[in-house]
């Protein structure tokens, strides 16, 4: 808040006597500058340069009188400076101001003390920042300067003398950083002029003056948001203070590995283990090592396997006895002590020699599963005289092999009606030539009709064939005529047409050798098959 108070004091003095239009405009501009204040960083070793500029006011104090503080005339000038950061306590600055200067009473223009002219001054000074702040910095200054005055006022009663010379400025100021790279400053200096008097009065008295500045500063060079002395431009962790050797990144455990890459940021360790320690030197870092003080193996989480059972000592409940993981590293138990471990023992709590169980009759069935434990047997430990897999005690026909559904007696089963129909094929109806049947033709047709009378729900398919004499086309035609002849004969004998179908297959599917007369006679035939559904039986490539 001190910087605001200082600024307001300056403004109050500027407005003290002359409330003219220019002064009001100045007040508005300066209040806007002060209103921009936000959080910021200061000029520092990584952002060492600052350039400033603003308004200035020089006050005369000498043999003719004084127009301070902020007396008449209320001339305003310009101010500029370049500042270099040296340390948290010291800066060095080169500054300059310019404008009008003198002592002038506007109500008494003939006053002998009046004088006025153009003036500029430059100086180099050291700034002692006695609070060493980053945002708010009051300072004391001292240095060496040069002042030049040129009289140009015709209204002055007594002209001043153009002059220039060295000056020694001593001052007090405040810097206030507004943003990262931007701030305001106020600086008041008391200057001892070491040259000849420029006020037109020769005197041994040294002319002195005050210079007040109010301006804006811009920081140049590098920025350092986290204040770790590593410029943001080179800082790979610009928002976290770190080490210069690690490009501005932090290393909490100082093991030379930045925290973002350190698997153990708070425990120092070598780079080969990503910054984690390994006390026992077994290659397993301590955070992952279940036995950090005993050398072990990675596959056992850093623990040894004393009994060699492939189970690390950290989880092995029997570290000196080889065991299994499902028993936490201990051997499989043998509860009844019969030499069969519990996993292989079918009688865990009873001693025995047959899979860990007793077998009283020694028939290979232990007593727990033997239905006849005092008699040797083959079916659940019981005898089976007829070897049908049914124990004699349950077999109603113990001397005759049978089936379970008949309680051990034989099963006599007749084929079903459907099975009979679907498996039936008629004897072949043979033809001497063309469609002339042989001597058994009528008897064969009658046999087919008799079958249908016995099974009237059967569907019949008539298939005609020929020998290989003649062309395939003629053989196909004659085979179909033969099938049709039988088909019509069956209809005539009373078989419903809707339960019949026929087809000729030519010389396909021969049942005898066509190179002989006897063979050809057998191949000139018609065959009838039955089915529970109406169908067309394809016989190509199938011998019937």
Q: In DSSP terms, which residues pair with 529 in a beta bridge? A: 425, 461
Give mean pLDDT, residues 253-279: 88
Q: Is 452 in a helix, a strand, or coil? A: helix
Least confident of 9-18, 381-390, 446-455, 486-495: 9-18
User: Using CA atoms, how far apart are residues 63 and 208, in angstroms rounded to an integer?
Assistant: 9
pLDDT over threshold 60, residue 227: yes
Q: Is 13 in a helix, a strand, or coil? A: helix
| pLDDT of amino acid 19 | 35
pLDDT over threshold 50, residue 382: yes
Q: How confident is the model at residue 469 (pLDDT cuts 50, 70, 90)?
A: very high
| pLDDT of amino acid 6 | 37
Phi-psi region of 246 (alpha: psi -120 to 50; beta: other; left: phi over 0): alpha
Are the C-beta atoms of residues 158 and 200 closer than 8 Å to each other? yes
Q: What is the pLDDT of residues 76-134, one digit of tens each?
A: 889 999 999 898 899 999 999 998 877 766 666 666 667 777 888 899 999 999 988 77
Pairing mode of beta strands 436-437, 77-85: unpaired
User: Using CA atoms, how far apart are residues 50 and 229, in angstroms rounded to an integer?
Assistant: 17
Continuous segment of H or E residues that includes residue 34 = helix 21-34
pLDDT over threshold 50, residue 35: no
| Residue whose token pair is 């232990």 | 366
Give mean pLDDT, residues 151-163: 59
Q: 479: closest CA among 515, 425, 430, 424?
A: 430
Give mean pLDDT, residues 531-540: 68
pLDDT over threshold 80, residue 402: yes
| Cis ω for the linkage preceding 73 (within 30 of 0) | yes
User: Using CA atoms, how far apart are residues 365 and 368, in angstroms rounded to an integer?
Assistant: 8
Provide the token pair at 24: 């009001």
| pLDDT of amino acid 157 | 45
Provide the token pair at 140: 């004391």
Q: How many domains does the chain divide into? A: 2
| More confident of the two residues 36 and 461 | 461
| More confident of the two residues 24 and 183 | 183
387 Cβ partners below 8 Å, 6+ apart? Answer: 401
Pairing mode of beta strands 525-531, 77-85: unpaired
Q: Domain containing 163 — which CATH number?
A: 2.40.160.20
Torsion, CA 17, CA 22, CA 28, CA 34, rounded to 10: -80
Torsion, CA 8, CA 10, CA 16, CA 19, rounded to 10: -80
User: Please, what sign has the CA dihedral across residues 218, 223, 225, 227?
Assistant: negative
| pLDDT of amino acid 74 | 63
Q: How confident is the model at residue 159 (pLDDT cuts 50, 70, 90)?
A: low
Query: Is 37 inside any structural domain?
Result: yes
Q: Is 444 in a helix, a strand, or coil? A: helix
| pLDDT of amino acid 23 | 40
Q: 479: closest CA among 425, 535, 543, 527?
A: 527
Continuous segment of H or E residues that includes residue 103 = strand 90-103
Q: In DSSP terms, which residues pair with 57 in a beta bridge? A: 212
Q: String of b and e for 411-426 (b: at least 16 CB within 10 Å)?
A: eeeeeeeeebbeebeb
| pLDDT of amino acid 113 | 67
Query: Is 73 inside any structural domain?
Result: yes
Query: Is 358 inside any structural domain?
Result: no
Q: Domain containing 510 — which CATH number?
A: 3.30.1330.60
| More confident of the two residues 366 and 9 | 366
Which of 220, 247, 273 is the C-terminal boundary of a domain? 220
| pLDDT of amino acid 488 | 96
Q: What are φ and ψ of residue 420, in 5° steps? A: -65, -45
Which of 186, 220, 254 is the C-terminal boundary of a domain? 220
Give mean pLDDT, residues 504-511: 93
Q: What is the pLDDT of residues 46-85, one digit of tens each?
A: 678 889 999 988 887 776 677 776 666 667 889 999 999 8
Continuous segment of H or E residues that includes residue 104 = none
Q: 43: closest CA among 269, 267, 220?
A: 220
Q: How confident is the model at residue 508 (pLDDT cuts 50, 70, 90)?
A: very high
Q: What is the pLDDT of residues 161-213, one digit of tens each?
A: 667 788 899 999 999 888 767 789 999 998 877 765 665 555 556 667 788 89
Q: How confident is the model at residue 239 (pLDDT cuts 50, 70, 90)?
A: confident
Residue 20: Cβ within 10 Å count: 11
| pLDDT of amino acid 352 | 87
Are the C-beta atoms of residues 129 and 123 closer than 8 Å to each other? no
Query: Is 91 inside any structural domain?
Result: yes
| pLDDT of amino acid 70 | 61
Q: How confident is the model at residue 12 (pLDDT cuts 50, 70, 90)?
A: very low
pLDDT over threshold 60, residue 438: yes
Query: Is 352 inside any structural domain?
Result: no
| More confident of the two residues 105 and 136 | 136
Query: Is 447 inside any structural domain?
Result: yes
Give mean pLDDT, residues 459-468: 95
Percent of the chain with pLDDT strictly greater than 70: 81
Query: Is 111 inside any structural domain?
Result: yes
Which of 189, 220, 251 is the C-terminal boundary of a domain? 220
CA angle 483, 484, 486 (to 5 degrees): 70
User: Please, what sign has the CA dihedral across residues 424, 430, 435, 440?
Assistant: negative
Provide the token pair at 452: 């249908």
Q: What is the pLDDT of residues 450-461, one digit of tens each?
A: 999 999 999 999
Query: Is 367 inside any structural domain?
Result: no
Q: What are the DSSP calls for 280-342, one per residue? A: T-SSS-GGG-SSTTS--BGGGTTB--TT-SS--TTT-S-TTS--BGGGTTBPPP-TT-SSS-T
Mean pLDDT of the chain: 82
Q: What is the pLDDT of residues 283-332, one digit of tens each?
A: 899 898 889 989 988 898 899 989 998 898 899 889 898 988 888 889 98
Q: How confident is the model at residue 7 (pLDDT cuts 50, 70, 90)?
A: very low
User: Using CA atoms, how far apart are residues 537 and 146, in angstroms rounded to an integer?
Assistant: 130
Give strand ranges (E) for 438-509: 459-464, 500-504
Q: What are φ and ψ of residue 57, in 5° steps? A: -145, 125
Domain that holds residue 213: 2-220
pLDDT over threshold 90, residue 515: yes
């Amino acid at each position: 808040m001190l910087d605001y108070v200082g600024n307001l004091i300056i403004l109050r003095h500027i407005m003290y006597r002359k409330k003219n239009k220019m002064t009001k405009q100045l007040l508005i501009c300066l209040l806007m500058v002060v209103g921009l204040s936000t959080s910021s960083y200061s000029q520092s070793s990584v952002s060492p340069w600052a350039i400033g500029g603003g308004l200035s006011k020089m006050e005369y104090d000498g043999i003719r009188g004084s127009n301070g503080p902020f007396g008449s005339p209320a001339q305003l000038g310009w101010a500029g400076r370049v500042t270099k950061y040296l340390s948290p306590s010291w800066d060095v600055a080169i500054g300059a101001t310019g404008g009008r200067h003198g002592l002038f009473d506007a109500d008494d223009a003939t006053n002998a003390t009046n004088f006025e002219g153009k003036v500029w001054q430059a100086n180099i000074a050291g700034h002692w920042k006695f609070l060493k702040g980053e945002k708010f910095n009051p300072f004391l200054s001292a240095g060496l300067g040069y002042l030049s005055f040129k009289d140009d006022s015709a209204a002055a009663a007594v002209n001043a003398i153009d002059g220039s010379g060295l000056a020694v400025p001593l001052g007090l100021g405040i810097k206030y950083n507004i943003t990262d790279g931007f701030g305001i400053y106020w600086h008041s200096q008391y200057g001892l002029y070491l040259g000849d008097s420029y006020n037109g009065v020769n005197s041994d008295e040294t002319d002195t003056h005050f210079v007040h500045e109010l301006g804006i500063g811009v920081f140049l060079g590098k920025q350092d948001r986290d204040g770790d002395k590593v410029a943001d431009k080179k800082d790979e962790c610009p928002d976290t203070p770190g080490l210069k050797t690690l490009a501005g990144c932090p290393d909490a455990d100082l093991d030379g590995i930045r925290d973002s890459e350190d698997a153990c940021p708070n425990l120092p360790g070598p780079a080969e283990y990503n910054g984690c320690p390994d006390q026992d030197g077994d290659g397993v870092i301590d955070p992952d090592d279940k036995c950090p003080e005993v050398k072990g193996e990675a596959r056992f989480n850093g623990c040894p396997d004393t009994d060699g059972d492939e189970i690390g000592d950290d989880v092995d409940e029997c570290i000196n006895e080889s065991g299994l993981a499902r028993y936490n590293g201990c051997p499989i138990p043998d509860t009844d002590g019969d030499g069969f471990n519990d996993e292989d023992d079918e009688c865990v709590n009873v001693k025995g020699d047959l899979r860990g169980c007793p077998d009283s009759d020694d028939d290979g069935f232990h007593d727990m599963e033997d239905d006849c434990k005092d008699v040797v047997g083959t079916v659940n430990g019981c005898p089976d005289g007829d070897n049908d897999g049914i124990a004699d005690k349950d077999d109603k026909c113990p001397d005759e092999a049978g089936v379970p559904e008949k309680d051990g007696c034989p099963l006599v089963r007749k084929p079903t009606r459907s099975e009979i129909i679907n498996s039936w094929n008629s004897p072949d109806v043979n033809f001497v030539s063309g469609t002339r049947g042989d001597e058994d033709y009528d008897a064969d047709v009658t046999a087919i009709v008799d079958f249908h009378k016995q099974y009237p729900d059967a569907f019949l398919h008539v298939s005609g064939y020929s020998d290989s004499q003649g062309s395939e086309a003629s053989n196909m035609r004659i085979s179909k005529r033969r099938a049709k002849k039988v088909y019509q004969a069956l209809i005539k004998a009373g078989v419903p047409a809707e339960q019949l179908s026929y087809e000729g297959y030519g010389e396909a599917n021969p049942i005898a050798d066509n190179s002989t007369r006897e063979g050809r006679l057998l191949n000139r035939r018609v065959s009838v098959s039955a089915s529970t559904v109406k169908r067309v039986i394809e016989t190509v490539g199938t011998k019937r």
